[in-house]
Amino acid sequence: MRIINRSYQSEQSKFSDDVSPFLQKIFQSRGLFSDSDLNLNLTQLPSPDSLLGLDIAVDHLVDALELQQKILIVGDFDADGATSSALMMLALGAMGFESVDFLVPNRFDYGYGLTPEIVELAQQKTPDIIITVDNGISSVDGVDYANQLGIKVIVTDHHLPGKQLPAAAAIINPNQPGCEFPCKNLAGVAVAFYLLSALRAKLRTNQWFENNNLPVPNMANYLDLVALGTVADVVPLDQVNRVLVNQGLLRIRSGRARPGIHALLRIAGKDYSRIVASDMGFAVGPRLNAAGRLDDISRGIQCLLTDDPAKALALAQELEQLNQDRKAIEQGMQQEALKIVDGLPLDDEHSLPAALCLYQADWHQGVVGLLASRIKEKFHRPVAVFANDKEGILKGSVRSIPGLHIRDALDAVATQNPGLITKFGGHAMAAGLSLEESSFKAFEQALQKQVMDTIEPDDLEATLKTDGELDAQLMTKQSAECIRDAGPWGQSFPEPSFQGAFILKSQRIVGENHLKVVLASVDDQSQQLDGIYFNIDTNQWPTTETRVRCVYRLDINEFRGRENLQLLIQYMAPVNPD
């Protein structure tokens, strides 16, 4: 493990004195240099005007509203897809659409995206227009089939497009060729939000609400859904996404969130008035995702849609049970995966292959993505994990490491090996694919070769970036509060972490594999600090060593109504005294 400090350029700083030097250095290392960079008001959002295809989509929806045509939302089966579907249902209903429904087919029967099979299923609902959310950019065949049936398709998506775009009536995706929208990192739910905001603006101009005696919907009412989907989908938190997430969190903290979000927070033991972005990613998102992983995401969407707090709580409890089931399945799969990795041949330098490809026929399709993430975190390798579907096709999820754009890598493998991959799609850090079971070994070799041709050897060594050593006088609850209030933190805008050497005063296991410690500064042992190290290797901890080097974040632990500083340890290793 390499531990390095983030670099920052103080000469570019134009912060006012209202921003403490402590935070200025943190912001500068993340590319922010002035007070305007910290402005997270909705006025900072870029205009939707440059979103390619937006005007066409709005015109189609205005016509559909005037004719009261049937709208069918076809979403993805994760938290981004669930929030996108709920957002579309709620906002279109508020704008006066009388027939809006959603369809998120079981992923195990119909696969990902708007496939011809899903269109066949959708036809039973006799829609005039299908709107895809968080999918569709790769659905060439599905859109063609919908066109043959006379069903108009509007695609809203954020995934990277392939070489051929679907022949949809309109496509809104900031990553499609020719789109000049400045933010390329929008989640699917944010793309849907932009479309709906533009539609509302057009309807206001047309005096639709006034003429039909309808209140003008306040789009800010839906920002809780946008924040949840954005954080759960782990898109980079550039300023646009930070604005969307921050505004959504403010809404949730003020008690104005959807009953379903409140219920999921309650089930997770979170105080809605104090939540931060990571709670969306680690508490709410997994419970919502569990439905899509093990069953179908419809229950999650219904949880987000309902206005009845009691019904929302009942649905949240069902999602909690599914999440517990998911954890048990994942734990078993992880143990089996680690045995496979232990049996892999090592190279001349006793290292694992540059990419890990793991497959077991009875693994659960809905959990392979999580398993790939866990194995990637442990071994710092790109990891592809496969399970077998009912037709004997391998369905896989891939998770990457910094330095390797995994969708581009899969594209290169597919180009160099025609017919090897049945289909694929995804982002820089995560992707999904399908291939024949007989092609597994050939894919494994092709991916490993592509990774070796693309990355540098140092990329295969895990690196932790920190904000340096923290002065003892800044190790306070006030500093932790200052950092919390300076968020939202998340992907590509990481919460500050620090490194330092400590004396390990005490240590004990809590729960199954968490280490509760008391640390003291090497220079001043009178200052003792509580710390928690989650998911430790119980073969290494507790230790007889007394001096350790830690990478940690400042956290606030609330216990019996009292708040105290706690170090949230990300990495800890014994060190020898100088």
Beta bridge partners of 4: 465
Task: Between 89 and 8, name the one with better pLDDT.
Answer: 89
CA torsion 237-4-427-248 (nearest 10°) is -20
Could you give the 3-state DSSP secondary structure of residue 298?
helix
Q: Tell me what pLDDT residue 389 has.
A: 82
Least reliable range by pLDDT among 222-226, 232-236, 425-429: 425-429
Residue recorded with tokens 């020898």: 576
Mean pLDDT of the chain: 94
pLDDT band per the 50, 70, 90 thresholds, residue 577: low
Distances (CA, A) of 360 to 30, 340, 357, 465: 41, 9, 10, 35
* 342 pLDDT more than 90: yes
Give residue-wise pLDDT tens across range 460-480. 999 999 999 999 889 999 999
Residue limits of CATH 2.40.50.460 in the chain: 467-574
The H-or-E segment that residue 63 falls in is helix 54-67
Q: Specify whether the CB–CB gap between 62 and 199 falls below 8 A.
A: yes
446 exposed, middle or buried (CB, 10 Å; 0-12, 13-18, 19+)? Answer: buried
* Longest CA span, the chain: 79
Q: Tell me what pLDDT residue 428 has.
A: 85
Cβ partners under 8 Å of residue 258, min gap 6: 86, 224, 225, 304, 312
Residue limits of CATH 3.10.310.30 in the chain: 333-460
* 29 pLDDT more than 70: yes
Choose among 338, 335, 391, 396: nearest CA to 364. Answer: 396
**Cα 222 from Cα 83, distance rounded (Å):** 10
How many residues are recorded in the chain? Answer: 578
Task: Calculate the CA 147 to chain-centre distance.
Answer: 32
Q: Tell me what pLDDT residue 512 has.
A: 83
The H-or-E segment that residue 253 falls in is helix 239-253
**Cα 131 from Cα 114, distance rounded (Å):** 10
Q: In percent, how much of the chain has pLDDT > 70?
A: 99
Q: Which CATH class is domain 467-574?
A: mainly beta
When mean pLDDT is compared over 13-22, 66-75, 466-475, the highest value belongs to 66-75
pLDDT band per the 50, 70, 90 thresholds, residue 357: very high
Cβ partners under 8 Å of residue 339, min gap 6: none
Residue limits of CATH 3.90.1640.30 in the chain: 48-319
User: What is the pLDDT averaged over residues 11-28?
Assistant: 90
* 578 pLDDT more than 60: no
Q: Tell me what pLDDT residue 106 has.
A: 72
- What region, left, alpha or beta, does residue 287 occupy, with left being phi > 0 and alpha being psi -120 to 50 degrees? alpha
Choose among 208, 174, 203: nearest CA to 188. Answer: 174
The letter for the amino acid at 461 is E
Helix, strand, coil % over all residues of the chain, rounded to 5: 45, 20, 35
* 136 pLDDT more than 60: yes
Strand runs (DSSP E) across 68-202, as ranges? 71-75, 100-103, 129-133, 152-156, 170-172
Give residue-wise pLDDT tens across range 172-226. 999 999 999 999 999 999 999 999 999 999 999 999 999 999 999 999 999 999 9
Phi, psi of 275 (to 5 degrees): -70, 155
Choose among 320, 409, 312, 330: nearest CA to 369. Answer: 330
Least reliable range by pLDDT among 59-68, 274-283, 489-498, 534-543: 534-543
Q: In percent, how much of the chain has pLDDT > 90?
A: 84
User: CATH fold of 333-460, please?
Assistant: Diaminopimelate Epimerase; Chain A, domain 1 (3.10.310)
- 3-class secondary structure per residue, 75-143: ECCCHHHHHHHHHHHHHHHHCCCCCEEEECCCHHHHCCCCCHHHHHHHHCCCCCEEEEECCCCCCHHHH
Phi, psi of 276 (to 5 degrees): -125, 175
* 247 pLDDT more than 80: yes
* 560 pLDDT more than 80: no
Q: Tell me what pLDDT residue 50 has.
A: 95
Q: Specify whether the CB–CB gap between 231 and 490 falls below 8 A.
A: yes
Q: Tell me what pLDDT residue 523 has.
A: 79
Task: Between 575 and 100, name the one with better pLDDT.
Answer: 100
**Cα 334 from Cα 353, distance rounded (Å):** 19
Least reliable range by pLDDT among 36-50, 61-75, 420-434: 420-434
Q: Tell me what pLDDT residue 527 has.
A: 85
Give residue-wise pLDDT tens across range 259-316. 999 999 999 999 999 999 999 999 999 999 999 888 889 999 999 999 999 999 999 9
**Cα 172 from Cα 177, distance rounded (Å):** 11
Least reliable range by pLDDT among 19-28, 108-117, 528-537: 108-117
**Cα 197 from Cα 194, distance rounded (Å):** 5
Residue recorded with tokens 């309650």: 266
Peptide bond into 488 cis (omega under 30): yes
Beta bridge partners of 506: 518
Peptide bond into 542 cis (omega under 30): yes
Choose among 135, 69, 126: nearest CA to 105. Answer: 135
For the chain, how big is the Rg over CA atoms in Å? Answer: 25
Residue recorded with tokens 């490809």: 357
User: CATH fold of 48-319, please?
Assistant: inorganic pyrophosphatase (n-terminal core) (3.90.1640)
When mean pLDDT is compared over 105-119, 123-137, 384-398, the highest value belongs to 123-137
DSSP code at position 366: G
How far the first Cα of the chain sits from its last, in Å, is: 20
The H-or-E segment that residue 532 falls in is strand 528-533
Give residue-wise pLDDT tens across range 501-558. 999 999 999 988 899 999 998 877 888 999 999 989 888 899 888 899 999 999 998 8
Rounded to 5°, the CA angle 488-247-37 comes to 60
Q: Tell me what pLDDT residue 296 has.
A: 82
CB atoms within 10 A of CB 178: 6
Encoded tokens for 81: 């897809």
pLDDT band per the 50, 70, 90 thresholds, residue 157: very high
Encoded tokens for 531: 């710390």
Distances (CA, A) of 518 to 90, 469, 525, 562, 563: 49, 18, 11, 18, 16
